[in-house]
Structure 1
Amino acid sequence: MRIILADLSSKMVEAWRAFFDNVQDVLIIEGDITRTECNAIVSPANSFGFMDGGLDYALSERFGWDLEKKLQQEIKALPEGELLIGQALLMETGDRVVPFLISAPTMRIPTNFNIDTSINAYLAMKAILIKAKGDARISSVAIPGLCTGVGRMQPIIAARQMYQAYKEIILGERMGFATFGDAQKYHWNLNPQAMIWTH
Protein backbone atom coordinates (compact mmCIF):
# COMPACT_ATOMS: atom_id res chain seq x y z
CA MET A 1 0.00 0.00 0.00
CA ARG A 2 1.29 3.43 -0.94
CA ILE A 3 0.94 6.21 1.62
CA ILE A 4 0.77 9.74 0.22
CA LEU A 5 1.42 12.56 2.67
CA ALA A 6 0.10 15.74 1.08
CA ASP A 7 -0.26 19.25 2.46
CA LEU A 8 -0.16 22.84 1.24
CA SER A 9 2.08 23.83 4.15
CA SER A 10 5.80 23.80 3.37
CA LYS A 11 6.50 23.48 7.10
CA MET A 12 4.40 20.31 7.29
CA VAL A 13 6.16 18.86 4.27
CA GLU A 14 9.57 19.70 5.74
CA ALA A 15 8.59 18.05 9.03
CA TRP A 16 7.45 14.88 7.25
CA ARG A 17 10.74 14.70 5.40
CA ALA A 18 12.60 14.73 8.72
CA PHE A 19 10.94 11.39 9.55
CA PHE A 20 9.68 9.77 6.34
CA ASP A 21 12.38 10.73 3.82
CA ASN A 22 13.52 7.65 1.88
CA VAL A 23 10.86 5.47 3.53
CA GLN A 24 9.63 2.89 1.04
CA ASP A 25 6.06 3.30 -0.24
CA VAL A 26 5.67 6.76 1.33
CA LEU A 27 5.35 9.72 -1.04
CA ILE A 28 5.50 13.29 0.28
CA ILE A 29 3.77 16.01 -1.76
CA GLU A 30 3.52 19.74 -1.20
CA GLY A 31 0.19 20.53 -2.80
CA ASP A 32 -3.58 20.21 -2.76
CA ILE A 33 -4.55 16.82 -1.32
CA THR A 34 -7.97 17.00 -3.01
CA ARG A 35 -6.20 16.74 -6.39
CA THR A 36 -4.14 13.72 -5.39
CA GLU A 37 -4.67 10.46 -7.28
CA CYS A 38 -5.39 7.73 -4.73
CA ASN A 39 -7.94 5.08 -3.77
CA ALA A 40 -8.74 6.71 -0.44
CA ILE A 41 -8.40 10.19 1.02
CA VAL A 42 -8.48 11.10 4.70
CA SER A 43 -10.86 13.52 6.36
CA PRO A 44 -9.27 14.53 9.70
CA ALA A 45 -12.62 15.67 10.98
CA ASN A 46 -14.32 15.49 14.36
CA SER A 47 -16.27 12.89 16.30
CA PHE A 48 -19.66 14.02 14.98
CA GLY A 49 -18.86 14.20 11.26
CA PHE A 50 -19.11 17.93 10.65
CA MET A 51 -17.32 18.61 7.36
CA ASP A 52 -17.95 22.32 6.86
CA GLY A 53 -14.58 23.81 7.79
CA GLY A 54 -10.93 23.70 6.74
CA LEU A 55 -9.87 20.73 4.66
CA ASP A 56 -13.21 19.03 5.29
CA TYR A 57 -14.97 21.91 3.54
CA ALA A 58 -12.76 21.32 0.49
CA LEU A 59 -13.54 17.60 0.62
CA SER A 60 -17.27 18.32 0.82
CA GLU A 61 -16.98 20.58 -2.21
CA ARG A 62 -14.99 17.89 -4.01
CA PHE A 63 -17.31 14.95 -3.32
CA GLY A 64 -20.63 16.69 -2.64
CA TRP A 65 -22.34 17.70 0.59
CA ASP A 66 -24.39 14.51 0.75
CA LEU A 67 -21.22 12.79 1.96
CA GLU A 68 -21.33 14.75 5.22
CA LYS A 69 -24.93 13.65 5.80
CA LYS A 70 -24.07 10.01 5.11
CA LEU A 71 -21.10 10.19 7.46
CA GLN A 72 -23.20 11.68 10.24
CA GLN A 73 -25.82 8.96 9.79
CA GLU A 74 -23.18 6.24 10.08
CA ILE A 75 -21.71 7.88 13.17
CA LYS A 76 -25.12 8.15 14.85
CA ALA A 77 -25.62 4.43 14.24
CA LEU A 78 -22.42 3.52 16.11
CA PRO A 79 -22.80 2.11 19.65
CA GLU A 80 -20.98 5.15 21.03
CA GLY A 81 -23.09 7.59 19.01
CA GLU A 82 -19.85 9.28 18.00
CA LEU A 83 -16.60 8.41 16.22
CA LEU A 84 -13.96 8.46 18.92
CA ILE A 85 -10.42 9.76 18.42
CA GLY A 86 -8.46 6.64 17.56
CA GLN A 87 -11.29 5.20 15.44
CA ALA A 88 -11.95 5.54 11.71
CA LEU A 89 -14.79 4.95 9.25
CA LEU A 90 -14.42 4.02 5.59
CA MET A 91 -17.01 5.46 3.20
CA GLU A 92 -17.62 5.27 -0.52
CA THR A 93 -17.50 8.69 -2.17
CA GLY A 94 -19.17 7.81 -5.46
CA ASP A 95 -16.18 9.42 -7.18
CA ARG A 96 -14.49 7.61 -10.06
CA VAL A 97 -10.97 8.86 -9.27
CA VAL A 98 -11.03 8.69 -5.46
CA PRO A 99 -13.65 6.06 -4.53
CA PHE A 100 -13.14 6.04 -0.75
CA LEU A 101 -12.90 8.46 2.14
CA ILE A 102 -11.55 7.59 5.58
CA SER A 103 -12.95 9.74 8.36
CA ALA A 104 -10.55 9.79 11.32
CA PRO A 105 -11.25 12.49 13.91
CA THR A 106 -8.37 14.47 15.35
CA MET A 107 -10.68 16.22 17.83
CA ARG A 108 -14.06 15.51 19.40
CA ILE A 109 -15.56 18.85 18.38
CA PRO A 110 -14.03 21.57 16.18
CA THR A 111 -11.68 23.34 18.61
CA ASN A 112 -8.07 24.38 19.08
CA PHE A 113 -8.12 23.90 22.86
CA ASN A 114 -5.59 21.31 24.12
CA ILE A 115 -5.12 19.74 20.68
CA ASP A 116 -1.55 20.97 20.27
CA THR A 117 -0.51 19.24 23.52
CA SER A 118 -2.35 16.00 22.72
CA ILE A 119 -1.33 12.75 21.02
CA ASN A 120 -4.36 12.93 18.73
CA ALA A 121 -2.31 12.89 15.51
CA TYR A 122 -0.76 9.61 16.64
CA LEU A 123 -4.12 8.07 17.53
CA ALA A 124 -5.76 9.24 14.31
CA MET A 125 -2.86 8.01 12.17
CA LYS A 126 -3.04 4.57 13.77
CA ALA A 127 -6.77 4.40 13.01
CA ILE A 128 -6.20 5.52 9.40
CA LEU A 129 -3.49 2.96 8.72
CA ILE A 130 -5.40 0.11 10.37
CA LYS A 131 -8.51 0.91 8.32
CA ALA A 132 -6.61 1.28 5.02
CA LYS A 133 -4.37 -1.73 5.57
CA GLY A 134 -7.35 -3.91 6.41
CA ASP A 135 -9.24 -3.26 3.16
CA ALA A 136 -7.97 -4.99 0.01
CA ARG A 137 -9.63 -2.35 -2.19
CA ILE A 138 -7.24 0.33 -0.98
CA SER A 139 -3.82 0.40 -2.62
CA SER A 140 -3.06 4.06 -1.91
CA VAL A 141 -4.21 6.50 0.76
CA ALA A 142 -3.67 10.27 0.87
CA ILE A 143 -3.21 11.75 4.34
CA PRO A 144 -2.93 15.45 5.28
CA GLY A 145 -1.11 16.94 8.24
CA LEU A 146 -3.07 15.85 11.30
CA CYS A 147 -4.02 18.33 14.05
CA THR A 148 -2.05 21.10 12.34
CA GLY A 149 -4.96 23.15 10.99
CA VAL A 150 -7.61 24.15 13.51
CA GLY A 151 -5.76 22.11 16.14
CA ARG A 152 -2.57 24.20 15.79
CA MET A 153 -0.20 21.36 16.60
CA GLN A 154 3.38 22.10 15.58
CA PRO A 155 4.17 20.31 12.29
CA ILE A 156 7.28 18.62 13.69
CA ILE A 157 5.26 17.15 16.58
CA ALA A 158 2.47 16.00 14.25
CA ALA A 159 5.04 14.41 11.93
CA ARG A 160 6.70 12.62 14.85
CA GLN A 161 3.36 11.23 16.00
CA MET A 162 2.39 10.14 12.49
CA TYR A 163 5.73 8.41 12.01
CA GLN A 164 5.45 6.56 15.30
CA ALA A 165 2.01 5.31 14.27
CA TYR A 166 3.48 4.23 10.91
CA LYS A 167 6.21 2.25 12.64
CA GLU A 168 3.71 0.46 14.84
CA ILE A 169 1.03 -0.33 12.27
CA ILE A 170 2.97 -0.73 9.01
CA LEU A 171 6.37 -1.90 10.26
CA GLY A 172 4.96 -3.90 13.16
CA GLU A 173 7.12 -2.30 15.86
CA ARG A 174 4.83 -3.01 18.78
CA MET A 175 4.82 -1.11 22.05
CA GLY A 176 6.06 -2.87 25.17
CA PHE A 177 6.49 -1.33 28.60
CA ALA A 178 8.20 -2.99 31.54
CA THR A 179 7.21 -0.21 33.92
CA PHE A 180 4.74 2.64 34.25
CA GLY A 181 7.70 4.99 33.84
CA ASP A 182 8.44 3.47 30.44
CA ALA A 183 4.85 4.14 29.35
CA GLN A 184 5.10 7.72 30.61
CA LYS A 185 8.32 8.29 28.69
CA TYR A 186 6.81 6.86 25.51
CA HIS A 187 3.78 9.11 25.87
CA TRP A 188 5.90 12.20 26.58
CA ASN A 189 8.12 11.52 23.55
CA LEU A 190 5.04 11.65 21.32
CA ASN A 191 4.41 15.23 22.46
CA PRO A 192 6.98 16.90 24.74
CA GLN A 193 4.54 19.80 25.18
CA ALA A 194 2.07 17.55 26.96
CA MET A 195 1.61 17.85 30.71
CA ILE A 196 1.72 14.50 32.49
CA TRP A 197 1.37 15.86 36.01
CA THR A 198 -0.13 19.04 37.44
CA HIS A 199 0.19 20.34 41.00
Structure 2
Amino acid sequence: MSPRLLLVDLDADLVSAWCEVFAEEIRTGAVEVRQGSLLDVLPQVDAVLRPEIQRSVWAAIADEYRGYQSVGSASMVPTGDEPCCWLVYAPTMRVPMPLTGGLDIAVHDAFWAALLAVGNHPTITKIASPGFGTGYGRVSAGRAAQLMAAAYTMWQLPATTRISQREQLLQHP
Protein backbone atom coordinates (compact mmCIF):
# COMPACT_ATOMS: atom_id res chain seq x y z
CA MET A 1 0.00 0.00 0.00
CA SER A 2 1.31 3.44 -0.94
CA PRO A 3 1.94 6.09 1.70
CA ARG A 4 -0.67 8.82 2.07
CA LEU A 5 0.38 12.12 0.51
CA LEU A 6 -0.06 15.48 2.23
CA LEU A 7 0.46 18.43 -0.11
CA VAL A 8 1.07 21.65 1.78
CA ASP A 9 2.12 25.09 0.58
CA LEU A 10 1.61 28.74 1.44
CA ASP A 11 0.59 29.60 -2.15
CA ALA A 12 -3.21 29.72 -2.35
CA ASP A 13 -3.17 29.33 -6.15
CA LEU A 14 -1.12 26.14 -5.89
CA VAL A 15 -3.38 24.75 -3.18
CA SER A 16 -6.41 25.47 -5.37
CA ALA A 17 -4.74 23.83 -8.39
CA TRP A 18 -3.87 20.75 -6.31
CA CYS A 19 -7.49 20.49 -5.15
CA GLU A 20 -8.58 20.44 -8.77
CA VAL A 21 -6.08 17.93 -10.19
CA PHE A 22 -6.06 15.64 -7.14
CA ALA A 23 -9.85 15.77 -6.63
CA GLU A 24 -10.37 12.00 -6.93
CA GLU A 25 -7.42 11.19 -4.67
CA ILE A 26 -8.66 13.71 -2.10
CA ARG A 27 -12.12 12.14 -2.23
CA THR A 28 -10.70 8.67 -1.53
CA GLY A 29 -8.42 9.91 1.26
CA ALA A 30 -5.16 9.00 -0.51
CA VAL A 31 -4.17 12.68 -0.77
CA GLU A 32 -4.76 15.60 1.56
CA VAL A 33 -4.18 19.25 0.61
CA ARG A 34 -3.55 22.10 3.04
CA GLN A 35 -2.55 25.73 2.80
CA GLY A 36 0.17 26.51 5.30
CA SER A 37 3.74 25.89 6.27
CA LEU A 38 5.48 22.56 5.76
CA LEU A 39 6.99 23.02 9.21
CA ASP A 40 3.52 22.83 10.78
CA VAL A 41 2.89 19.30 9.48
CA LEU A 42 6.23 17.69 10.37
CA PRO A 43 4.85 15.90 13.45
CA GLN A 44 2.14 14.31 11.28
CA VAL A 45 4.36 12.64 8.66
CA ASP A 46 7.15 10.08 8.36
CA ALA A 47 8.94 11.80 5.46
CA VAL A 48 9.14 15.20 3.81
CA LEU A 49 9.82 15.60 0.09
CA ARG A 50 11.92 18.63 -0.80
CA PRO A 51 13.02 20.05 -4.14
CA GLU A 52 15.42 22.47 -2.38
CA ILE A 53 18.58 21.39 -0.64
CA GLN A 54 18.80 21.38 3.15
CA ARG A 55 21.96 21.36 5.27
CA SER A 56 21.25 17.81 6.43
CA VAL A 57 21.38 16.64 2.83
CA TRP A 58 24.73 18.17 1.87
CA ALA A 59 26.85 15.42 3.42
CA ALA A 60 24.72 12.68 1.86
CA ILE A 61 25.04 14.27 -1.58
CA ALA A 62 28.77 14.69 -1.12
CA ASP A 63 29.10 11.00 -0.25
CA GLU A 64 26.60 9.41 -2.61
CA TYR A 65 26.78 11.71 -5.63
CA ARG A 66 30.28 13.21 -5.26
CA GLY A 67 28.74 16.61 -4.56
CA TYR A 68 26.24 16.84 -7.42
CA GLN A 69 22.86 15.16 -7.50
CA SER A 70 21.16 15.20 -10.88
CA VAL A 71 17.61 16.24 -11.65
CA GLY A 72 15.35 13.19 -11.73
CA SER A 73 17.05 11.46 -8.80
CA ALA A 74 16.16 11.40 -5.11
CA SER A 75 18.06 10.89 -1.87
CA MET A 76 16.52 9.76 1.40
CA VAL A 77 18.36 11.21 4.37
CA PRO A 78 17.50 10.22 7.94
CA THR A 79 16.68 13.28 10.03
CA GLY A 80 17.54 11.69 13.36
CA ASP A 81 14.33 13.22 14.69
CA GLU A 82 10.97 11.79 15.64
CA PRO A 83 8.32 11.72 14.36
CA CYS A 84 9.43 12.87 10.87
CA CYS A 85 12.30 10.46 10.26
CA TRP A 86 13.18 11.16 6.63
CA LEU A 87 13.99 14.07 4.37
CA VAL A 88 13.74 13.19 0.69
CA TYR A 89 15.71 15.51 -1.56
CA ALA A 90 14.73 15.51 -5.23
CA PRO A 91 16.16 18.50 -7.15
CA THR A 92 14.19 20.18 -9.93
CA MET A 93 17.18 22.11 -11.31
CA ARG A 94 20.99 22.14 -11.28
CA VAL A 95 21.21 25.78 -10.22
CA PRO A 96 18.44 28.20 -9.24
CA MET A 97 16.79 29.24 -12.51
CA PRO A 98 13.40 29.54 -14.19
CA LEU A 99 12.18 26.23 -15.61
CA THR A 100 11.09 27.60 -18.98
CA GLY A 101 11.23 26.28 -22.52
CA GLY A 102 10.17 22.75 -21.62
CA LEU A 103 12.40 22.52 -18.55
CA ASP A 104 9.27 22.41 -16.37
CA ILE A 105 9.17 18.63 -16.97
CA ALA A 106 11.78 18.51 -14.19
CA VAL A 107 8.89 19.02 -11.74
CA HIS A 108 7.42 15.70 -12.84
CA ASP A 109 10.78 13.94 -12.88
CA ALA A 110 11.82 15.16 -9.44
CA PHE A 111 8.46 14.40 -7.83
CA TRP A 112 8.44 10.96 -9.50
CA ALA A 113 11.93 10.21 -8.13
CA ALA A 114 10.87 11.31 -4.65
CA LEU A 115 7.76 9.11 -4.74
CA LEU A 116 9.80 6.12 -5.91
CA ALA A 117 12.28 6.66 -3.08
CA VAL A 118 9.62 6.69 -0.37
CA GLY A 119 7.74 3.83 -2.01
CA ASN A 120 10.75 1.60 -1.34
CA HIS A 121 10.48 2.17 2.43
CA PRO A 122 7.55 0.14 3.80
CA THR A 123 7.69 1.89 7.19
CA ILE A 124 6.71 5.23 5.66
CA THR A 125 2.95 5.68 5.87
CA LYS A 126 2.49 9.42 5.30
CA ILE A 127 4.60 11.90 3.35
CA ALA A 128 4.40 15.67 3.02
CA SER A 129 5.41 17.77 0.05
CA PRO A 130 5.41 21.42 -0.94
CA GLY A 131 5.05 22.53 -4.54
CA PHE A 132 7.91 21.51 -6.82
CA GLY A 133 9.32 24.10 -9.24
CA THR A 134 7.11 26.95 -8.04
CA GLY A 135 9.83 28.97 -6.29
CA TYR A 136 13.01 29.68 -8.24
CA GLY A 137 11.65 27.58 -11.10
CA ARG A 138 8.71 29.95 -11.56
CA VAL A 139 6.50 27.14 -12.85
CA SER A 140 2.88 28.26 -12.69
CA ALA A 141 0.73 26.78 -9.94
CA GLY A 142 -1.52 25.04 -12.46
CA ARG A 143 1.33 23.48 -14.43
CA ALA A 144 3.23 22.39 -11.29
CA ALA A 145 0.06 20.79 -9.92
CA GLN A 146 -0.56 19.01 -13.24
CA LEU A 147 3.01 17.66 -13.41
CA MET A 148 2.95 16.52 -9.77
CA ALA A 149 -0.44 14.86 -10.30
CA ALA A 150 0.86 13.08 -13.42
CA ALA A 151 3.82 11.69 -11.45
CA TYR A 152 1.54 10.63 -8.59
CA THR A 153 -0.99 9.01 -10.93
CA MET A 154 1.74 7.07 -12.70
CA TRP A 155 3.21 6.02 -9.35
CA GLN A 156 -0.14 4.48 -8.45
CA LEU A 157 -0.52 2.58 -11.73
CA PRO A 158 0.73 -0.96 -12.35
CA ALA A 159 4.09 -0.90 -14.15
CA THR A 160 2.66 -2.29 -17.40
CA THR A 161 0.12 0.53 -17.60
CA ARG A 162 2.60 3.34 -16.83
CA ILE A 163 4.33 3.27 -20.20
CA SER A 164 1.16 3.77 -22.24
CA GLN A 165 -0.20 6.46 -19.89
CA ARG A 166 2.94 8.60 -19.53
CA GLU A 167 2.61 10.79 -22.64
CA GLN A 168 -1.10 11.38 -22.10
CA LEU A 169 -0.57 12.47 -18.48
CA LEU A 170 2.23 14.89 -19.35
CA GLN A 171 0.43 16.79 -22.12
CA HIS A 172 0.22 20.56 -21.68
CA PRO A 173 -3.34 21.69 -20.96
TM class by smaller structure:
0.7 to 0.9
Alignment partner of 2:163 out of 167, 175, 182: 175
Aligned pairs for 1:139-150 (under 5 A) are 139-150=125-136
The structure whose Rg is larger is 1
Alignment partner of 1:159 out of 130, 134, 145: 145
Shift of 1:30: 0.8
Deviations 1:137-177 (A, max 9, x none): 21111011110011110010011101111111123341239
Q: Which runs of 5+ in 2 are unaligned?
A: none
Q: Greater helix share, 1 or 2?
A: 2
Q: Percent identity?
A: 28
**C-alpha separation in 2, matches of 1:187 and 1:29:** 24
Q: Which runs of 5+ in 1 are unaligned?
A: 52-67, 178-182, 193-199
TM-score, L = length of structure 2: 0.84
Say if 2:79 is the partner of 1:77: no
Alignment partner of 1:17 out of 4, 19, 33: 19
Q: Tell me, yes or no, if the aligned pair for 2:6 and 2:33 is still in contact at 8 Å.
A: yes
Q: Tell me, yes or no, if the aligned pair for 2:147 and 2:170 is still in contact at 8 Å.
A: no
Q: Tell me, yes or no, if the aligned pair for 1:40 and 1:142 is still in contact at 8 Å.
A: yes
Shift of 1:81: 4.3
> Between Structure 1 and Structure 2, how many residues are aligned?
164
> Deviating runs (4+, > 6 A) in structure 1?
none
Shift of 1:14: 0.5
Once structures 1 and 2 are overlaid, which stretch shifts more, 107-116 or 118-127? 107-116
| Corresponding residue number in structure 2 for 1:197 | none
Alignment partner of 1:3 out of 5, 20, 35: 5
Distance 1:116 1:155, change over 3 A: farther
TM-score, L = length of structure 1: 0.74
| Corresponding residue number in structure 1 for 2:81 | 95
SS in 2 for 1:78: helix
Q: Tell me, yes or no, if the aligned pair for 1:119 and 1:161 is still in contact at 8 Å.
A: yes
RMSD: 2.3
| Corresponding residue number in structure 2 for 1:135 | 121
| Corresponding residue number in structure 1 for 2:33 | 28
